[in-house]
A and B are shown apart, each in its own frame.
Chain A
Amino acid sequence: MHDTAIVFLELGGIILALGVLGALALRAGISAIPLYLLAGLAFGQGGILPLATSEDFIAVGAEIGVVLLLLTLGLEYNAGELVSSLRSNARAGLVDIVLNAAPGAIAALLLGWGPVAAVAMAGVTYATSSGITAKVLSDLGWIGNRETPVVLSLLVFEDLAMAVYLPLLTAMLAGVSLVTGAISLGIALGTVTIVLVIALRFGRFIEAFVSSPNNEVLLLKVLGLALLVAGIAQELQVSAAVGAFLVGIALSGELAHEARALLMPLRDLFAAVFFVFFGLQTDPGKIPPVALLALLLALVSIVTKLLTGSYAARRAGIARAGRMRAGIALVPRGEFNIVIAGLAVAAGAHPDLGPLAATYVLILAAFGPLAAKLVEPILTRLTRPPSPPA
């Protein structure tokens, strides 16, 4: 068969399979991310239906998926929100980092994977999936809840922390010396600060350049700008993902809203490709030996997120039931954790890191939303006073 024919057959098969899986996830009321990962495992090396030729395309598609994930995330926030949430939630945000980075880092050190893998695993257990959590909040009607601003600002804090963490990880994975690492971290921090200041003070100039009444022009300008900045960021060892995130933040208001709506279909496609790609790189045969460890790590990090949510909500004067909800909403892990593990795998980290991260995210991306759904009626029953006499 002709090469093009094979590529189309494979891509068509994968994308169609993802569509069917997405429909299943929708019906079951869970996130599609774990199913996409499973699909990747099935199509990859050692899977049931290994791909022949289209892996190259999928690899580039996956990179674009990461850029789009971060760009649309950045578009959701504006610089003012980031700064104010940084100010008012710094303490809860730090508790979040300490409690939730620890399980991954300690696990990696105990396994003897070395300090670089420990930093990567710290990121894998730290970041809550803002995508899945936002969906849980809206599906369960929790958006109006009084603990929700606390949850959202923790997510903002985590996303900002990523803007510092990803460059650090990229530098460490590249195996650069302490000095070079410090320089690239300095560049990252400097860039983040400059972008925030530009977005706060001169956001309208960028918007004036990007904005267009024509959807096509707007889409091309925003996407082009994001890829360009992502490329520059990657070249400076700041990580492409962070560059795209910063472009998203620099755009705000009505323009960001429009751009996000235009980018969503592209993001859905390429993000799905990204999850499949991560699955492709993971050998399913390597999962059983790490499954127990992943489960243990998942259990520990459910507890640490519950503690984080409770702590942050209590500081905001939320009652006990609300504190539990804040904790449970933070449990899902998803895109960021896989982005981090993907960077580590690409840089040649310990061969068990990929399967461990994949299994861990499979568990928490599937279980997190379910747990939130199960907890709701229990909490309601507990807080409801005994029914008044008829």
Chain B
Amino acid sequence: MEIEQTSLPGIGLKHEFTTHSGRRVAVVSHRSGRRDLIIYDRSDPDRACEAIQLNDEEADALVELLGAPRIVQRLNALHSEIEGLVSIQLPVLPGSPYDGRTLGDARIRTRTGASVVAVVRGPQVNASPTPDFRFSAGDVVVVVGDDETTRAVADILTDG
């Protein structure tokens, strides 16, 4: 995929690309920090038919929404590439002994050999959480290991 960069003197920078299905999309980054998401007209490919102005928070949210499923996808791809490697997503249920406790407390790697690679909380993905990361009910824990070790992690998260 080729991303074309154009400078807009006095305004900022524009990055654009054409999608697989032939639509043109661009992001205009204004010097003031404002960003516009541009979608080009199908019949007049030079014309921006939609220009959506995003503030910092909205741009971050869009990035996360587009990026979060990609992390799981990439993990699944990794999983099918290496035989015997399993990645599963385990929910932290209300009433779990680790609801409100830290990743370090669970000592998952020491006890099972499997690794916690990410914790998904709502739209937010915490990749490579540190030992002081605090679980809370509703989190989805992404674990990589083999069949046996990942099952052991599921037991720890439900029964302690």
**Residue of A76, A81, A82, A145 ringed by the most chain B CB atoms within 10 A:** A145
Closest B residue to A319 using CB positions: B46
Chain B nearest Cβ from A69, distance in angstroms: 14
A154 CA to B46 CA in the complex, in Å?
Answer: 18
Q: Which of A163-171, A172-180, A340-348, A378-386 contacts B (4 or more CB under 8 A)?
A: A378-386
Quick one: which of B1-42 are within 8 Å of A by CB? 6-11, 14, 16, 26, 28, 31-32, 36, 38, 40-41
B contacts with A, residue count (CB < 8 A): 23
| Contact of A321 with B9 in the complex, beta carbons under 8 Å | no
Query: A143-B28, A144-B28, A257-B32 known; A81 and B46 CB under 8 Å?
Result: no
Of the candidates A85, A141, A153, A257, the one whose C-beta lies within 8 Å of that of B48 is A141
Chain B nearest Cβ from A302, distance in angstroms: 21
Task: Classify chain A's interface size.
Answer: 20 to 34
| Contact of B43 with A385 in the complex, beta carbons under 8 Å | yes
A315 CA to B40 CA in the complex, in Å?
Answer: 20
Chain A nearest Cβ from B140, distance in angstroms: 37
In the complex, whether B131 has a CB less than 8 A from a CB of chain A is: no
| Contact of A149 with B14 in the complex, beta carbons under 8 Å | yes
A322 CA to B32 CA in the complex, in Å?
Answer: 26
Chain B nearest Cβ from A110, distance in angstroms: 36
| Contact of A77 with B47 in the complex, beta carbons under 8 Å | no
Chain B nearest Cβ from A384, distance in angstroms: 5
A380 CA to B40 CA in the complex, in Å?
Answer: 12
| Contact of B44 with A379 in the complex, beta carbons under 8 Å | yes
Query: A141-B51, A143-B36, A144-B14 known; A380 and B9 CB under 8 Å?
Result: no
A380 CA to B51 CA in the complex, in Å?
Answer: 16
In the complex, whether B97 has a CB less than 8 A from a CB of chain A is: no
Closest B residue to A382 using CB positions: B44
Quick one: which of A302-323 are within 8 Å of B by CB? 318-319, 321-322
Other than the known A81-B7, A144-B51, what 19 A-B pairs have Cβ atoms closer than 8 Å?
A76-B9, A81-B9, A130-B10, A141-B51, A143-B28, A143-B36, A143-B51, A144-B26, A144-B40, A145-B47, A149-B8, A155-B9, A257-B31, A318-B46, A321-B47, A322-B47, A383-B43, A383-B47, A384-B43
